Chain A
Amino acid sequence: MTARIQVPPEVRRGDLIEVRILIQHPMETGFRYDSLGRQTPRNVIHRFECRYGGVEVFSAAMGAGIAANPYLRFFVRAGESGDIECRWVDQENASGSASARVTVSG
Chain B
Amino acid sequence: MDGLTARGARRRSLAALLALLALPRRALAQPIMNPAPGIDARTINTPQGALQSILKGAGMRRGRVRLELPSAAENGHSVPMTVRVDSPMSETDHVRRIDLVSEKNPVPLMASFFLGPHMGRAEIESRVRLNGTQRVTAVAQLSDGSFWFDAADIAVNESACLDGG
On A, residues with C-beta under 8 Å from B are 16, 27, 29-33, 36-39, 42, 44, 46-47, 52, 55-68, 70-77, 79, 91
Contact = CB atoms under 8 A, between A and B. Distances in A.
B127 interface: yes
A70 B114 CA distance: 17
Contact of B36 (A31, A32, A61): A61
A61 B112 CA distance: 5
Interface stretch (B1-9, B27-35, B58-66, B146-154): B27-35
Question: At the interface, is chain A mostly helix, strand, loop or mixed?
Answer: strand
6 contacts: A31-B161, A46-B33, A56-B116, A57-B116, A68-B77, A70-B126
Contacts of A44: 33-34
A66 to B, nearest CB: 5
A65 B110 contact: yes
A62 B111 CA distance: 4
Contacts of B57: none
B124 A73 contact: yes
A76 B118 contact: yes
B119 A37 contact: no
Interface string B59-86: 0000000000000000001110000000
A39 to B, nearest CB: 6
B155 interface: no
Contacts of B111: 60-63, 65-66
Interface string B32-55: 011111000000000000000000
Contacts, number: 129
Contacts of A60: 111-114
Contacts of B109: 63, 65
Contact of A58 (B20, B79, B113): B113
B20 to A, nearest CB: 5
A57 B118 contact: yes
A14 to B, nearest CB: 9
A71 B127 contact: yes
Given A31-B30, A91-B34, A38 B110 contact: no
A75 B121 contact: yes
Contacts of B165: 68
B105 A58 contact: no
Given A36-B19, A37-B16, A60-B112, A66 B34 contact: no
